[in-house]
Amino acid sequence: MLRKIALAGLCLFNAQIAVAEAPARALAEKIATRPANEGRAGDMVFELTSASGAVRNRRALMIHSDKDDFIRIGIFFKSPAAIADTAFLSHDKTGATGENWLYLPATERVRRLPASERGSYFMGTDLTYGDIKDNFRFSLDDWTFSGGVEDPETGLVRLDGHVRTPDIGREIGYSRFRALVNTETLFPVRIDYDDTSGKPLKRVEVLEQELIGGAWTAMRFEVGNLQTGHRTRVHFENMRHVPSLEERILTSAQLALGAPAIR
């Protein structure tokens, strides 16, 4: 009898958790499926600032395609000379395991990146490979969600996430996030991440958004590492809608050929 009561209590507790998570999960799903265009391209400009104030600048061609539930992102570095022609490619398709590649001119080899490198930092920035791939979305497979209610101070909606398993946390480099979401654009405008030990790690702030080809796009954002004092500022120039991207442009074979010409 006591066992039945305990099981009933556990079922009720789980049901209460599910009800509490429902608004947050619904918001996370809307963010994950926010409208996107079939193609866009522009110059991605990085400003990297160390804790001592030293500044480095980088410029790359960024190409993004979202068509038939197949998201492809290519980043082709143009400057400085030390990293020119370095290129990164990401493929994500609904129902399939994502794939990533990196081309380093020094090795003249296209290397496929394992999923375990999602939490590695991208080209000296404060963005991980996973951050680049997720594009201000939260993987529904990685997180459980809570919140989904309006923040009284900002009028934005708060969304919190806790990593599903310690293994996933080690893979992505995070244990928790707290985000403020603009529900009109379905963009998180501020995200605070904790590291795998639960300590504050970094803050991401989206400072400017713009409609490109009918889809909201982050045009300017900042990422600050709270533990090292390093900061990455990113903005886009000449961002335009490219509805008819050639498929070959975003393939692993293209990476070693340099930045493609976008008409």
Cα–Cα distance for residue pair 51/105, rounded to 1 Å:
29
Report the pLDDT value the prediction gives residue 244, as an integer from 0 to 100: 85
DSSP character string of 131-184? HHHHSS---TTTEEEEEEEE-TTTSSEEEEEEES-HHHHHHHT-SEEEEEEETT
Report the pLDDT value the prediction gives residue 240, as an integer from 0 to 100: 94
**C-beta separation of 47 from 55 below 8 A:** yes
The neighbour count for residue 34, using CB atoms within 10 Å, is: 15
Please state whether the predicted TM-score (pTM) of the whole model is above 0.95: no
Distance of CA 247 to the CA centre of its chain: 22
Report the pLDDT value the prediction gives residue 246, as an integer from 0 to 100: 87
Counting as low any pLDDT under 50, the low residues of the chain are: 2, 4-19
- Contacts of residues 100-105 at CB distance under 8 Å and 24 or more positions apart, as own/partner, are 100/129, 100/133, 101/252, 101/255, 102/255, 103/255, 103/256
Of 3.40.1160.10, 1.20.1260.10, 2.50.20.10, 2.40.110.20, which CATH number belongs to 2-255? 2.50.20.10
